[in-house]
Amino acid sequence: MFPTLALMVLIPVLGAVVVGLVPKRRSELIFPLALVVSFLPLAVVGYVVWEFEVGQPGYQFTQQVLWYEPWGVSWNVGVDGISLLLLALTAVLFPVSIAASRSIEKNQKMYMVAMLLLETGMLGVFVALDLLLFFVFFEITLVPMYLLIGIWGSGNKVYAAVKFFLYTALGSALMLVGIVWLAVISGTFDFRAMLDIPLTSSQQGWLFLAFGVAFAVKVPIFPFHTWLPDAHTEAPTAGSVLLAGVLLKLGTYGFVRFNLTLFPDAAVRFAPWLAALAVVGIIYGAAVAIVQPDVKRLIAYSSVSHLGFIILGIFAMTSQGLTGGVIQMVNHGLSTGALFLLVGMIYDRRHTRMISDYGGVAKVMPVFAGLFLFSVFASAGLPGLNGFIGEFKILLGSYLRFPAAAVLAATGVILAAVYLLWAYERVFTGPIVHKENEKLFDLNAREVLIIAPLAVLMLFLGVYPKPALDRIEPAVAEVIERIEDATDFTAPEFGMPEDLAGGGE
């Protein structure tokens, strides 16, 4: 079979080499070249999505090439319905992020190289079926993001970059211990072969924690979240988009792919605790977002809340909850990515992110105000936009397993409307108080084109999510079946009472 996934993963790193070789006298070629390279993986992912066989639960486009036989290490890749949508999200956000980086002048070549290396790492994580290969890609993402924050960020950028790196590197070290331990037990790094290896309850518990801490830091789950607001606030616009849109999903994806399937017994035992932490994160993130004076920091704390919903859906371990969690990974990436892009656009004009410095902006920037409100509604879960279907399925699925947690989590939906709409009111409505805002100019055609793909996808997934759900559900069913077969757990299912479904007299 043609190595489609290998081509997709390697294109950005090869493009990074080409961009790095551009001579200084031809520096005007760096941006367009990087942009063109970023579109190539999108084309390959488009082909994968088109050729993906809907309804098939297993991995497709698989390729395995042995690297080192004594250790069983191999280039082992494949894609299923869970990873497919995350690949598509990654492939869409990178051209958008690079296009939004046109104003980067400081070390532009190094910036674009870091962006393309980051894309290789992120794409590789979602296709790796060899645990050592997964770890390599997982770690590759750290250095480019560290550089993006530390060099091209703002404010206390070095502190934020170091904090991000230390937190995530510590978590990754624990995961590496778990990977090596699991490989010693199973005699292979092949994820699919590990599924057939029996583990004791104690082994599952410790391994679940080794992997889980790494993913909990990456998500991040409360109380591991403290690095996130600083990283989001100080990162450049593209860094914030990719951090929220994709990097955080490496953690949620890891929980679904590895913790639920490799350690199902431990997953069942730890699920109530993780559901509890998810609810705390939902309410805490939303409550702190309400009082933020910095609009970018507000969106950062909203991510803590929204990622809590995803974790709740995952560890409800029901078909509805897990499907909702997976599609919400994509939805959050689109809506929060759009909000960070829009904040970056107004920051370029006004050079402040403080909400109190605005007011009445809709009068001078009506197109910008309209797109921002559209993204706010999507993030808040307005029916008809993408955020609704994910949150609805998560709450439905989690109510079947953890009713109290679902009820408490539902307050996060209300609080999201509070902090997002109140922030919108203060920035865009009322009179123009500050004279500097009278000189603001509306979005140009290039900026509208940057936001347009995300807006179209937010609307499409809100109105017609069926194509996405049709690809996710068979893979989710396989995960649930794996848990049920390996434990005494039975996933509850939603059903109509017989008297309402026509079964009564």
Distances (CA, A) of 154 to 143, 207, 213, 235: 18, 38, 29, 7
DSSP 69: G
The string of pLDDT tens digits covering residues 258-285 is 999 999 999 999 999 999 999 999 999 9
Residue 354's φ and ψ, nearest 5 degrees, are: -75, 125
Task: Answer whether 151's CB lies under 8 Å from 143's CB.
Answer: no
Reported as a single tens digit per residue, the pLDDT across 387-410 is: 999 999 999 999 988 999 999 999
State the pLDDT at residue 503.
Answer: 43
Compute the average pLDDT of residues 10-15. Answer: 94
Q: Considering the entire predicted model, what is its pTM?
A: 0.92
Quickly state the pLDDT bin for 499 (edges 50, 70, 90). Answer: very low
Tokens 């050592």, located at residue: 132
State the Cα–Cα distance between residues 342 and 346, nearest whole angstrom: 6
Q: Per-residue pLDDT tens for 129-147?
A: 999 999 999 999 999 999 9
**Buried (b) or exposed (e) across 379-413, using 16+ Cβ within 10 A?**
bbbeeebbbbbbbbbbbbbbbbbbeebbebbeebb
DSSP annotation of 385 reads: S
Residue 221 gets which letter from DSSP? P
For 400, the enclosing helix (H) or strand (E) is helix 386-401
- DSSP assigned state of 432: -
Q: Indicate whether 497 pLDDT > 80.
A: no
Strand extents, DSSP E, 30-161: 60-68, 73-79
